[in-house]
Structure 1
């Protein structure tokens, strides 16, 4: 698999032709104006107070550019140019695998299953390295009035010719490879005719992201934890995180009407990739950073790369049920309900993984009518150690369809029926200024997407 993507900012242009702004807009305006109401509960209006905001017809604008290319000037900045041309992700990943599984019925009530998967994975990343900053600053492009300058916050030259010179050393290939075995086994014991006891084990994989393993190094002259320069280097040598998963589940089936199950699980994860910062002395012993330590370009820099945690564990319980009301008289016998709850206890906070998650559903299926009401609840969820967290949220969705004829039906969906926002919270004690003022927890990012819905008619043949 080849991962080759980036920010294609080389195609940004500004109109600099002879037309005035008004005349140019008149040529590319979409005749179908419409009111624009933002979902975050505020309305946009024009300077004249109109709720109708004219929109540009992008097809007309493209046609104008194609017919009058000399009237357009590139608006791409040096930073955008460097990102698009020299910091795009270009990683080749090759995975070869073999897999086998056996199933055996030891007794009429006992079923055993075992499997094994072997994987060979190789990564090759094409990475551009910057020339020494001092060398770039000493270079003057042909026809330029001054030597190249470097933007402190990005470590990138300020003009396109200087960017080309900065990365003129070309791309180098950095390689990494690893071999993994993934065994699995399960046992299912049926007793009492309606009960199943299931025990299971599996080993699974979480591969490092291409940003961690295959992007180009980036630098900032003010980005370290102490405000000094820092070089952030990907680590193609990252191996995948391996999780050993153990579970036990007891299920009870109620013939014709539903089921209930409860289970426990334990996941032991080795090698989760996290970004860490190192001093030059510490970085010398880190394989991904060692090649940069002797480079005078980075004298006085801190260094950062992705490393892997030793052991992360997650203990949890889960319960679920489903019940169909087929025993009720018509038309109520079309109703059914379901529900589930999961509680996780990791030994350390895991970003964007909830500790408590619940779901519920109410369904009605009878004749031509299908209606579904589904709820998903997440408790407060750890976001980062800045520290921030996602506030608890309940998402309620209503959907359904009605069959009109043999081949035609109407359908609808209403998302976020409760209008619940996404809210990122910060404790008031996190910063000296807010702590001194006695602030409690407060919102840092508040997004109100509102309710959205779709309605349509569908044909099936």
Structure 2
């Protein structure tokens, strides 16, 4: 039998269970202190509620594309040309205004009276988990407030609450956690396909893409300008210390667009040689891009107080580029079947992943999240990561080997070997 005694300012309790260390059949009894099932036993310095979640995201996209194709006249063998272009304009707006909807209860009920008035009608206990729980009064229930009743009380008695808006609350709700990001992409391509012989097919292409970004960011006044206007500022961090001062400091001038621009060419080529009616060799090359998601670039901070983490965007993150090579030898069988061996290699530059940092490593200079772990997406390294591998695959129909009703069965199998080899230069 395992027994634990826990003295504390709010009372003592004892807990024991069977000798099986995996068992959950705890028996917990309160030995002293105020009754844990009674709302009057709890004290709060203040009762603060949030009336709105405050989180929102809005995405607007517009765009268009055109594609044309034609065959070159007068050539000795068929040559087909395709070309086209595409435009996509995207606008992203992220808001987290939760701190703008905070209210504190002022009067006339005491804390105990308020907790009693908003007590949940659903009695909470731990018996379903295999625990036996008993407070000092013999109750097997824990006190549990009702979010519904708290919200209803607020709507029925709004005069008993006062808005709770500090300078920090206003900054977080309307300045720090407000993000506007535009991403415009322009692309054009040309691709040619030729079949010089019955057994050989060739294809090559070139695509050009340009991406323009713009992030709207505050253009705040300096601490000296705020002081001259008659508002107090924090000596250690610089921002104004009142809501009016924050409005003057961050909203006097309109937000400015921090612009970015990059463009790349993406060549591609492939060849297919059919040595027989059932044996093909395929070779390919392409250059591709993977852009980070917009929320990774311009989202708002996401704070998890339970595990003490802050997930933050990285506006300086650049796209991941990859040069891809492939070779495939495949043998086909009647009626439906194949055996193939594939080789692939991808050279990645600018690969990114989510990493964790301490507040100091991240560059956070405040005190509120000084002990938190910061998570953000960063580039793995400055060089190239080479990933290559071989795959063996088989796909064969059993139609000729099995009687009805099993003729439709197919036997599939594959084996893949992958070898990543970092090559940082």
Q: How does 1:119-158 map to 2 (within 5 A)?
A: 119-132=209-222, 141=231, 147-149=232-234
Match of 2:385 in 1: 313
Equivalent-residue separation in structure 1 for 2:332 and 2:122 (angstroms): 58
Larger Cα-atom Rg: 2
Secondary structure, in 3 states, of the residue corresponding to 1:149?
coil
Query: How does the TM-score come out when normalised to structure 1?
Result: 0.49
Equivalent-residue separation in structure 2 for 1:323 and 1:335 (angstroms): 6
- Structure 1 gaps, min length 5: 142-146, 218-231, 277-304, 350-461
Secondary structure, in 3 states, of the residue corresponding to 2:96?
coil
Go from structure 1 to structure 2 and tell me whether the alpha carbon gap of 1:322 and 1:34 turns closer, same or farther (over 3 Å shift): farther
Q: How does 1:427-438 map to 2 (within 5 A)?
A: none
2:250 alignment partner, one of 155, 162, 167: 167
Secondary structure, in 3 states, of the residue corresponding to 1:347?
strand
Does residue 2 (structure 1) correspond to residue 86 (structure 2)? The answer is no
Equivalent-residue separation in structure 1 for 2:126 and 2:405 (angstroms): 43
Q: How does 1:14-413 map to 2 (within 5 A)?
A: 14=103, 16=105, 18=108, 20-22=113-115, 24-25=117-118, 49=140, 56-57=147-148, 65=154, 68-74=157-163, 79=168, 81-87=170-176, 88-132=178-222, 141=231, 147-149=232-234, 160-168=243-251, 169-210=253-294, 214=298, 234-235=315-316, 240-256=319-335, 258-272=337-351, 310-319=382-391, 320-326=393-399, 327-329=401-403, 334=409, 336-347=411-422
Deviation at 1:96, TM superposition (A): 1.9
Secondary structure, in 3 states, of the residue corresponding to 2:256?
strand
Equivalent-residue separation in structure 2 for 1:128 and 1:186 (angstroms): 49
Equivalent-residue separation in structure 2 for 1:138 and 1:337 (angstroms): 77
2:102 alignment partner, one of 10, 13, 26: 13
What is the RMSD computed on CA atoms of the aligned residues?
4.9
- Structure 2 gaps, min length 5: 1-89, 302-312, 356-376
Does the 8 Å contact 2:179/2:298 carry over to 1?
yes
Measured against aligned partners, the alpha-carbon deviations of 1:412-453 in whole angstroms (never above 9, x if no partner) come to xxxxxxxxxxxxxxxxxxxxxxxxxxxxxxxxxxxxxxxxxx
Deviation at 1:113, TM superposition (A): 1.9
Deviation at 1:345, TM superposition (A): 0.8
Deviation at 1:108, TM superposition (A): 2.5
Go from structure 1 to structure 2 and tell me whether the alpha carbon gap of 1:275 and 1:259 turns closer, same or farther (over 3 Å shift): closer
Query: How does the TM-score come out when normalised to structure 2?
Result: 0.52
Does the 8 Å contact 1:15/1:73 carry over to 2?
yes
Go from structure 1 to structure 2 and tell me whether the alpha carbon gap of 1:268 and 1:78 turns closer, same or farther (over 3 Å shift): farther
Match of 2:26 in 1: none
Equivalent-residue separation in structure 2 for 1:79 and 1:135 (angstroms): 19
